Chains A and B, each alone.
Chain A
């Protein structure tokens, strides 16, 4: 059991991680999230629910995902051993499926007949469309119009899986706007609809629930690393947009102070450029949006900024509330990674390991590239390779001038 001083005890009964989190939603949604919390608590201790989820994790997702020693990259960087937790090998190509399976079983339990979700890079949209196909539920995916354009392969996948993809033109047409529109849909279709949030953000209990479903990443990683090296890794790294793969990776290590933890935020064009990045913790301040108090990109009047990242999945002006808490308590070090650094990491990984990472995960890798050379060769750093980069080859090709 975790002790009283554990960093793993959050959230409290009001959905707070320290000062962050909460339930900042319209009254229409309040009974729904209270109901969801009740159902989630019941499901969590229901052996049948847990058994079904576990079976799906093994036979549908392909868990456990491998822990891979990136030998060439290690030699190239000349420091700590570099490891990848290969979430990109999961069915649908990212960690997102872990959460979608957990929530779709919950939606079924609750008798919901329609699923909605928001998506940025389309990874969560694809994972949602996938589980909806499998469980025969109609689904509508809200996706910013800008993202629809830059992540076309995922849009096609969602459509083929039977989802309706609704492009959102409000604002900059990115993840924030997609989430607004999903919330508007939910408030309109409360009786039938389950909102399958893809990141560890939003009103309580979503941040806790999504974290719990993603915590399999860190739990497996810890066990796998112990088997391989007989100890704990010295550092773990993950990219942070809303932060679901990151909290899933970090959570198992929060009470192991000897493990350094790094979250890579989207530094875009650089965090000194207003609206030129999506680094909410290193470049924003606390506010309230989308149901929770958390670090946000905003102007002096409290209007939310759009932010920018080359990676659609990180292009969000907020972050999950537990990350805000871990930032303030300094347990996790959050660092901004620029578009250019992520692009370089993307190429290095592709050429040296034969693994094309998602641009999101490439942000984490860029931090590993900075970190590993500062560590000794008997130390290890593990990256959560959260997604594969097939969806990004076209947009990266454009940046690199491979497409005219």
Chain B
């Protein structure tokens, strides 16, 4: 059975390009604008949507995504609300994969079984849950795989060859390589090292590898797109939302700012292997 995720990677491979996974915080800066941003992403050039689940204590995130989460929570966003965004999106788009990205506690409180059923029915394709390492697979990973959702694991520069098999064991959909030790939005110190790491991971798995954390410009995208099957961009997108606000409120530039940025990044990727 091919999934939406499998299909977009196959399509990108056929085009000889890396795909673009665009991260937005679900419901940032407000619920209606957040939905409009999400709906605009595929046409702007996003192949996969990573939809952030806002959490009060995002320990792996830098300031930009922390603030995005706070704006969404202040606007009244909840886990159920984010799943509602997916339902709404799926009314018009049946093909773009949606991966929820966030922290475990809201899911745990929602109830794992109820969450998985609701997410699957809403049209979610995969999950990236930052604070669930392989050692805690029984919590959500195994149940998610059983319910037909992909569980996408983060691998990091600290994940050495001895540990990679443990991390990859129950990973599905794709592997997300975190380009550096740090929080989202920090600076990649060595692009060459990222390329080597991607090759190292590929020696252990057939799954596509997506590189994320620290990709900020079309040039970054072009550079990383040479090494990886895809790139993930988040902080600059959430920052673009922030910069478009006036007094903390969305403006008529908000959706367009994200659309233009994503289009620019997508163009960078097309250059990567040109």
Contacts and interface: CB of A to CB of B under 8 A. Distances in A.
Q: Do A and B bind each other?
A: yes
B147 interface: no
A190 B158 contact: yes
Contacts of B103: 288
A302 B105 contact: yes
Given A26-B60, A184-B183, A302 B106 contact: yes
A293 B108 CA distance: 10
A27 B178 contact: yes
A30 B160 CA distance: 11
A25 B131 contact: yes
A31 B135 CA distance: 11
Contacts of B157: 28
A377 B58 CA distance: 52
B136 A24 contact: yes
A25 B130 CA distance: 7
Given A27-B153, A31-B159, A288-B104, A14 B135 contact: yes
Contacts of A32: 158
A100 to B, nearest CB: 23
Nearest to B154: A27
A133 interface: no
B192 interface: no
A402 to B, nearest CB: 36
Nearest to A306: B56
B44 interface: no
Nearest to B156: A28
Contacts of A183: 59-60
Contacts of B183: 184, 187-188
Contacts of B167: 27
A379 interface: no
Interface in B82-112: 103-110
B133 A25 contact: yes
By secondary structure, the B interface counts as: loop
Interface string A171-183: 1000010001001
Nearest to A35: B158
Contacts of B108: 287-288, 293, 302
Given A23-B135, A24-B132, A180-B57, A170 B66 contact: yes
Give the contact-size bracket for chain B.
35 or more
Interface string A253-294: 000000000000000000000000000000000011111010
B183 to A, nearest CB: 5
A27 B155 contact: yes
B126 to A, nearest CB: 16
Contacts of B106: 301-303
Interface string A157-193: 0000000000000110000100010011001111100
A298 B160 CA distance: 36
B256 interface: no
A368 B107 CA distance: 39
Interface string B123-145: 00000001111111000000000
A67 to B, nearest CB: 39
A134 to B, nearest CB: 29
A93 interface: no
Given A24-B104, A28-B178, A184-B183, A302 B110 contact: yes
A22 interface: yes
Contact of A28 (B58, B78, B181): B181
B131 A301 contact: no
A302 B132 contact: no
A93 B47 CA distance: 58
A31 B178 CA distance: 15
Closest 5 pairs (CB-CB, A-B)? A302-B109, A302-B106, A28-B156, A303-B56, A188-B182
8 contacts: A24-B132, A24-B133, A25-B133, A27-B155, A27-B178, A30-B163, A187-B183, A302-B110
Given A22-B135, A30-B158, A288-B104, 5 more contacts: A27-B154, A28-B156, A171-B56, A300-B109, A303-B73
